[in-house]
Structure 1
Amino acid sequence: MASRRRTEPAARTEAARTEAARTEAARPSPFAVELRAVRRTYGRGDAAVHALRGVDLALARGSFTAVMGPSGSGKSTFLQCAAGLDRPSAGQVLLGGEDITGLSENRLTKLRRSRIGFVFQSFNLLPSLTVQQNVLLPQRLAGRRPDRRRAAELLARVGLERHGRRRPGQLSGGQQQRVAIARALITDPEVIFADEPTGALDTGTAREVLGLLRHAVDALGATAVMVTHDPVAASYADRVVFLADGALAGELTRPDPTTVADRMVALTASTAGPGRLGAAA
Structure 2
Amino acid sequence: MALHGLRRRRGRADEDTPAGERHAGAPAAAVELRGVRRSYGRGASAVHALRGIDLSLPRGSFTAVMGPSGSGKSTFLQCAAGLDLPTEGSVRLGGTEITGMDEDRLTELRRSRLGFVFQAFNLLPALTVEQNVTLPMRLAGSRTDRARAADLLARVGLDGMGARRPAELSGGQQQRVAIARAMITRPDVVFADEPTGALDTTTAAEVLGLLRDAVDSLGATIVMVTHDPAAAAHADQVLFLAEGRIADRLPRSPAPTVAARMTTLTARGAAA
| Separation in structure 2 between the aligned mates of residue 125 and residue 97 of structure 1, nearest angstrom | 30
Query: Which residue in the other structure is 1:237 paired with?
Result: 235
Percentage of pairs with the same residue: 72
1:114 to 92, 112, 126: 112
Question: 1:272, CA displacement in angstroms?
Answer: 2.3
Q: CA deviation at 1:29?
A: 2.4
* TM-score (norm: length of structure 1): 0.87
Give the distance between the partners of 2:148 and 2:93, measured in 1 at CA.
25
Letter of the 1:56 partner, please give it: D
Q: Deviations over 1:36-64 (max 9, x none)?
A: 00000011112211000001011011100
Provide the C-alpha distance between the structure 2 equivalents of 1:163 and 1:186, rounded to a whole number of angstroms.
16
Determine the structure 2 residue equivalent to 1:18: none
1:36 corresponds to 2:27:
no
Q: Which runs of 5 or more structure 2 residues have no equivalent in the other structure? A: 1-24
The match for 2:64 among 66, 71, 81 is 66
The answer to whether the aligner puts 1:204 opposite 2:202 as a matched pair is yes
Equivalent AA in structure 1 for residue 34 of structure 2: R
Larger radius of gyration: 1
CA distance in 1, matches of 2:254, 2:269: 23
Aligned residue identity for 1:49: V
Secondary structure of the structure 1 residue equivalent to 2:248: strand
Q: RMSD across aligned C-alpha pairs, in angstroms?
A: 1.1
Residues 135 and 31 of structure 1: is their aligned pair in 2 closer, same or farther, counting only changes over 3 Å? same
Distance 2:142 2:95 in 1: 24
Of the three residues 80, 86, 89, the one matched with 2:87 is: 89
Residues 1:178 and 2:188 are matched in the alignment? no
- In structure 1, the residue matched to 2:44 is 46
Three-state SS of the structure 2 residue aligned to 1:154 is helix
Match of 2:99 in 1: 101
In structure 2, give the amino acid aligned to 1:245. Answer: E
Correspondence for 1:270 = 268
- Give the 3-state SS of the residue equivalent to 2:253 in structure 1: coil
SS at match of 1:219: helix
Deviations 1:208-243 (A, max 9, x none): 100110111000011000000000100000000010
Number of residue equivalences: 248
Distance (whole Å) between structure 2 residues aligned to residue 29 and residue 128 of structure 1: 39
* Shift, 1:174, TM fit: 0.3
Q: Which amino acid aligns with 1:98?
A: T
Q: CA deviation at 1:162?
A: 2.3
- Where does residue 219 of structure 1 map in the other structure? 217
TM-score (norm 2): 0.89
Unpaired stretches in structure 1, ≥5 consecutive residues: 1-26, 277-281
Tell me which stretches of 4 or more aligned residues in structure 1 moved more than 4 Å: none
Q: Cα distance, 1:148 vs. partner?
A: 0.7
* Aligned residue number for residue 73 of structure 2: 75
Superposed, 1:242-261 pairs within 5 Å as 242-261=240-259
CA distance in 1, matches of 2:155, 2:49: 37
Whole-Å Cα distance in 1 between the matches of residues 211 and 183 of structure 2? 10
Q: Which residue type is aligned with residue 268 of structure 1? A: T
Matched residue type, 2:235: A
Give the 3-state SS of the residue equivalent to 1:226 in structure 2. strand
SS at match of 2:164: coil
Alpha-carbon deviation of 1:99? 1.0
CA distance in 2, matches of 1:28, 1:159: 30
Instruction: Report how far residue 127 of structure 1 moved.
Output: 0.6
In structure 1, the residue matched to 2:162 is 164
Q: Deviations over 1:92-145 (max 9, x none)?
A: 001122211111100000001111000000000001111110001000000011
SS of 1:198's equivalent in the other structure is coil
Letter in 2 for 1:254: R
